[in-house]
Structure 1
Amino acid sequence: MTLTGAAPCLGQTIMTANAVDTNNDDWLHAEGSRLYDMNGNEVWLTGANWFGFNCGENVPHYLWSADADDCLTEIADRGINIIRFPISTELIVSWMKGKPNEVGSFSCNTDPSFTINVDFCAEDGKSPKDSMQIFDIMMKKCKEHGIKAFIDIHSPDANNSGHNYNLWYGKAGVTTDVWIDSLVWLADKYKNDDTLIGYDLKNEPHGKGPEGKAAAKWDGSTDENNWAYAATKCAEAILDVNPHALILVEGVEQSMSGAQEGDYWGMPDRKTNSPYIGAWWGGNFRGARDNPIKPKQGTSQIVYSPHDYGPSVYAQTWFDKNFTEQTLLDDYWYDTWAYINAEDIAPELIGEWGGHMDGKENQKWMTLLRDYMIKHHINHTFWCLNTNSGDTGGLWDSLGFQQGTGTTIKWNEPKYELFEEALWQTQKSGKYIGLDHQVALGKNGISLNDFYANYAASEGSNLDGGKTSSGKTINAEQPIETITTSAAPTTTTTSSVATTTTTSEETASNRLYGDANCDGQVDLSDAVLIMQSLANPDKYGLQGSDSHHLTKEGSDNGDVEGNGNGLSTLDAQAIQMYLLGKYKSLPVK
């Protein structure tokens, strides 16, 4: 959002709004290779996948035999702070058109002695609610349990095997424009609800180079099958309606190797000196070195999201030895995706990892990747909770519901034990750390506020070797009260530059209020810089002359709440509320 002009005209009104609440205080942003909350506190997303919205049933699997609250209670109690929900574009389009697809394999039991997921049933008690209503209810339940969520577009069409399709367009009438429009619609619908904090734009774009236009590639072109170009356009469109959302971008399958001059995408492969370098589907980010994702709004919301698997899924060449962390880095990880984190380019979230507990090579690979993610603060969502993933199995072995006792979930305890070490938790007391500032994560969990108020400085977490840190907390009850002056300035415009004529109580100014980083725009990065300067003044305070430091001019620009009283968290919150459309202009007085 770019603004030009003078200080706004304000009438004599009194306006009151909540500065923060459970719907708007948990948005995250990127700086370097890590993610932070609005106060500049570091966070770690450690979660799991729960598929079903992407399938023909249009609903998370097992809700026909398990109660959603029971499942989410156990998910929170087990320390999972975020869920990745695969979904299809076709399903979102049906919501957008006002004709939500029906759910399958789910029926409402009319027997009062068997009450399961009663809030998913219509008023008649006999028919299930539609798929959009159930999605909304699931998001509400996640919020109540202190769990965050993001969706991933698993396929264009609703298809239990839709992940096998290469591209984000070309099925069920889904074009690139329809794909973007549907995501923008959902982002706009949820822009005031920080339960749904991000959008994984497409699961595993893939295809081999010789397939040409039928395969996803990553380069500097504007070709429709260029994933980097499409993802950038989609990111920009989403951020236009919700500048707070995280945008997760996966990789492709193959990239050009540069083996010979004149090699081109779509050419036949060679038996030796191949023009292509392969990877897991969605795992190849070699093209991002020269063509990174840089939306017009900046990169503060971009998260790269590779997928990585072990030999139980496919016997890749890098497993053809007594592999170690170092050989995996040398042979595959580093140049394919790990450099992004290691070189502090952007945060990463391994959107899918996991597999069978074979007691051998696959389990060895899972342990090596888990430990690497912990050591290097890489976010992740394990594949998967579901029992019905054929090539990996799930964290759950079985689920069943019985009246009176509720849902019984049998966890695969050895797999969970391996996974559990990579969940965000306090270093000594082992309390799971949630991403909600107010709501604790399960019976052995704490809220983000609680962690930074009571644990971060004393014991730290299982990141960075237990390094302790200080942080700021958010007061959910703190109101913003803004009272305007009765002397409202008048504004005239000449040659597209607004000039303000004021009373003697005002000073003439062309200041761009809200532009704390002095880049000529008002966007989320301004609120972020204000919070960073307050949380870490030595690093971000009044020094330097670039957008990474707060300058005197930037401080004056950012002083938008109760203008003239100095910077505070209220200024950052006011900018965010302005971006969300809750304030029509800045400053507010």
Structure 2
Amino acid sequence: MNKFLKKSASLALAVVLLTTGCAGNTVKEGESGSLSESSVSGNLPESYDGQSSGEYSVGGSPVGGESTYSSESSPASAESSSESYSGVESTESSSYSDNTQSSSSSISSSSSSSTSSVLSGGISCEVKTGNTWEESGNKCGSAEVIVKNNSGSAVGSWKVSFTVPNGFKITNSWGGNFSVNGSTVTVTNVDYNGNIPAGGSVSGGFNYSSPSALNSMGGSGSGSASSSSSSTQSSIPVQSSSGGYNPPAPTGEVKDLLKRSDKAVQGDDWLHTDGNKILDKNGKQVWLTGVNWFGYNTGTNTFDGLWNSQLVPSVKAIADHGFNLIRVPISVQLINQWAAGEYPRANYNNAYNPELNDMNSLEIFEYFLKLAEENGLKVMPDIHCAETDAMGHNVNLWYTDKVSVNDYYRALEWLASRYKNNDTIIAIDIKNEPHGKQNEQNKAIWNNSTDINNWKYTAETAAKKILAINPNVLIMVEGTEIYPKSKSNSDYKSQNADDYYFNWWGGNLRGVRDYPINLGSYQNKLVYSPHDYGPTVYQQPWFKNGYNYESLMRDCWNDNWLYIHKENIAPLLIGEWGGFMREPNLTWMTCMRKLIKNYHLNHTFWCYNANSGDTGGLVLDDFKTWDTEKYNFVREVLWQESGKFVGLDHAIPLGENGITLSSAKGL
């Protein structure tokens, strides 16, 4: 069977896309546009994270949330290729359940002609506003449009409308054809989401600029019911648009797909540190040069972009382009659902990825791990947020009212246990961008206390729990947003901003000098992982009067985190950096690339996703075509020897254009 079918015109796809921004292509009054999954910056605080760097993604929304947002056992022995990819014996895959939804549906794709009739009612929409901010005197923000089919019959196309303030402009949109006429916005379906089963829904969204505020609202619409006259149809299962579902028990084919590669040698790729270097088992210095791909943090419950693209060639393309590591943002909530045997629906194009249709969301993740291994790639899960939410990264801490600190620890322990015999996962970023300002009660602090919001204490506790289960995995520890200028304020009692150093969310590691992370006998598993962004994400003070490499070194990088590398304290991995290839951002991008190259800093570029609001991605809106200009820019800081990309697997070469770690000389 051809595993990569062409997209059917009658495919029902539930994709939630949520990104943020106030720039880019604009749909003005009287105009219309079919704008793909892209967006721009979000509601940025005065010392913003870089989270707007795409983490805003819901089933297709961005960073962080995306967008999208992190020991006594012996080394694992080699496993046979017939074993489950997870590396552990588990019965979870034999029966799936999801407490939120027990139904699934299927529709038929046909190559023949069809007739349609207009349904007079039953199609409605809900507009949910997200982040808001002001720019040039206008109210800017993001909104999600949820189109619901309550007609009792499947529809093959739809149109909805809703009211907005006069002068309203759409600056970016996705998941629909948007037009503005006076105070009315009209949205029609795009090719991949016209079909909505009875009771189902699809989603799109937009970013806007408006003279006055936009509030959440409802809207009306209509749809056309499609009936096929063909005698040759192929049934494509379509997952329901809300909640999860109860898929059948895994077939023999799914089990075969999850088997590890015959070429894999388990346990020979674990890494450790020495001073500011990351080394392999033989003491060879390696260079982690990776990329971020979000979606598991947002509600997509798989990677964003699979509504337009296929998983198999996408993973292969990342390896072929020379990235040797993929940082995967994910939520605590989703991990703990998996641990409980609950598998929220994964949102993807069923026709493009038919081999995934019999898999639950956990199996899709483990299928990705297998594909990564087959292509010589390594993986680093990133605890991007506590709750599954495109805006989850905006929450200051690693816990919420719904997700406790113990839930957070439990998720990390489950990850460590399930993949302790799986050296495809070589590192865990234990929390994306802890942050909070001096006047916020729930702010991340860094001192020698055992306070619940002390990130230093939490990071040590979390790391030791992981390493007690898997002593081989690297632990990535990010920074905070603020740090006291005086030790007399180490309790963070002052609410005066002048008493603190500010940096990007996750980018302030000044506390390491006073209170370094202590992992005891596992200190050689520690890597510090700051984030850094340019002025298109937020106009930080060090950008305002002009800047260059030397000023960035003086005003930001050196005292916040580069000293950790220079003083040989520990290795660094820049977990997020990236942006648009235009000024005022390009100068910063060039300086950051120079820094990474000069010091051979490990890094994971933000990001692969096209729908990263204020950074863009390495691929264009179809999630297949690479942005050649951006890729060629980043390529200069991908690990290469003699014109070949270097992977982190000793046995499997990195894609078609790379070599194994065994074949590399090392740094």
Deviation at 1:297? Answer: 3.0
Q: What amino acid is aligned across from residue 419 of structure 2 in structure 1? A: Y
Please tell me the residue identity of whatever aligns with 1:43. V
Counterpart-to-counterpart distance in 2, 1:2 and 1:333:
37
Q: How far does the alpha carbon of each residue in 1:70-111 deviate from its partner, in whole angstroms, 9 at most, with x for none?
A: 11111111101000000000000001111122223x2533xx
CA RMSD of aligned residues (A): 1.9
Contact kept in structure 1, 2:72 and 2:471, CA below 8 Å = no
Identity %: 45
Counterpart contact for 1:34–1:377, Cα < 8 Å:
no
Match of residue 141, structure 1, among 361, 371, 381: 371
Q: Could you tell me how far apart the structure 2 residues matched to 1:21 and 1:62 are?
A: 28
- Aligned partner of 1:483 in structure 2 is none
Contact 1:278 1:284 in 2 (8 A): yes
The one-letter code of the counterpart of 1:118 is P
Instruction: Supply the distance in 1 between the matched residues of 2:542 and 2:329 (Cα, whole angstroms).
Output: 29
Deviation at 1:415, TM superposition (A): 1.1
Of 317, 320, 340 in structure 2, the residue corresponding to residue 77 of structure 1 is 320
Matches within 5 A, 1:181-192: 181-192=410-421
Per-residue CA deviation, residues 305-329 of structure 1 (Å, 9 max, x unaligned), is 0000011111111112332222111
AA aligned to 1:388 is: N
- Please state if 1:119 is matched with 2:349: no
Which is helix-richer, 1 or 2?
1
1:435 to 634, 640, 648: 648
Distance 1:210 1:281 in 2: 16
Q: Does residue 370 of the first structure (1) align with residue 593 of the second (2)? A: yes
2:66 matched residue in structure 1: none
* Inter-CA distance 30–262: structure 2 relative to 1 (3 Å threshold): closer
Task: Find the counterpart in structure 2 of residue 314 from structure 1.
Answer: 538
Q: Report SS of the residue matched to 2:520.
A: coil
> CA offsets, 1:373-422, max 9 Å, x none?
1111210000000011111111111326xxxxxxxx22111111111100
C-alpha distance 378-219 of structure 1, shift in aligned 2 (>3 A): same
2:102 alignment partner in structure 1:
none
What is the alpha-carbon distance in structure 1 between the residues aligned to residue 279 and residue 294 of structure 2? 27
Where 1:255 maps in the other structure, the secondary structure is strand
Give the Cα separation in 2 of the matches to 1:202 and 1:17: 30
Structure 2 counterpart of 1:425, which letter?
Answer: Q
For residue 380 of structure 2, the aligned residue among 150, 159, 174 is 150
The partner residue of 2:494 within 267, 270, 274 is 267
1:543 paired residue number: none
Normalized per residue, which structure has more strand?
2
Q: Mark the CA change 1:254 to 1:53 in structure 2 (over 3 Å): closer, same or farther.
A: same
Distance 2:511 2:601 in 1: 20
Contact conserved, 2:264 with 2:652, CA < 8 A, in 1? no
Residues 457-478 of structure 1 deviation map (CA, whole Å, 9 limit, x = unaligned): xxxxxx5xxxxxxxxxxxxxxx
Render the CA deviation track for 1:429-481: whole Å, top value 9, x for unaligned.
311000000111112111111224xxx6xxxxxx5xxxxxxxxxxxxxxxxxx
Contact 2:385 2:395 in 1 (8 A): yes
1:222 lines up with 2:450 in the alignment: yes
User: Which amino acid in 1 is paired with 2:369?
Assistant: M
C-alpha change, 1:77 and 1:330, in structure 2 (3 Å) is: same
The answer to whether the aligner puts 1:205 opposite 2:448 as a matched pair is no
SS at 1:337 equivalent: helix
The question of whether the paired residues in 1 share the 8 Å contact of 2:377 and 2:648 is answered with yes
In 1, the alpha carbon distance for the partners of 2:387 and 2:270 equals: 30
2:394 corresponds to:
164
> 2:78 touches 2:266 (CA, 8 Å); kept in 1?
no
Shift of 1:54: 0.4
1:299/1:421 CA distance change after superposition, 3 Å: same
Question: 1 CA distance for matches of 2:470 and 2:546?
Answer: 47
Deviations 1:199-219 (A, max 9, x none): 10111000001113x010111
The answer to whether the 8 A contact 2:78-2:267 is kept is no
Q: Deviations over 1:218-251 (max 9, x none)?
A: 1111000000000000000000000000100000
Alignment of 1:462-481 (within 5 A): none
Say if 1:206 and 1:253, in contact at 8 Å, map to a contact too: yes
TM-score by length of 1: 0.68
**In structure 2, how many angstroms separate the alpha carbons of the residues matched to 1:94 and 1:138?**
19
Q: Please report how far the alpha carbon of residue 263 of structure 1 lies from its aligned counterpart in structure 2 after TM superposition.
A: 7.4
- Residue by residue, what CA displacement relative to the aligned partner does 1:138-165 show, whole Å, maximum 9, x if unpaired? 1011000111000101110110111111
Letter of the structure 1 residue corresponding to residue 470 of structure 2? N
Q: CA deviation at 1:264?
A: 4.5
How far does residue 119 in structure 1 lie from its aligned partner after superposition?
2.3
- Asked if residue 445 in structure 1 is aligned to residue 661 in structure 2, the reply is no
5+ unaligned residues in a row in structure 1: which ranges? 4-15, 110-115, 123-128, 401-408, 457-462, 464-589
Paired positions, count: 412
Q: CA deviation at 1:2?
A: 7.0
Deviations 1:247-283 (A, max 9, x none): 0000000011119x5674143225xxx1111000000
**Amino acid in structure 1 at the alignment position of 2:371:** K
Q: Taking structure 1 as reference, are residues 329 and 131 closer, same or farther at Cα in structure 2, changes over 3 Å only?
A: same
Q: Report whether the alignment pairs 1:51 with 2:294.
A: yes
Larger mean CA deviation between 190-199 and 19-28 belongs to: 19-28
Consecutive unaligned residues of structure 2, counting only runs of 5 or more, are 1-70, 81-262
Matching of residue 254 in structure 1 with residue 482 in structure 2:
yes
State the one-letter code of the partner of 1:377. H
Q: Once superposed, which parts of structure 1, at least 4 consecutive aligned residues long, lie more than 4 Å away?
A: 16-21, 261-264
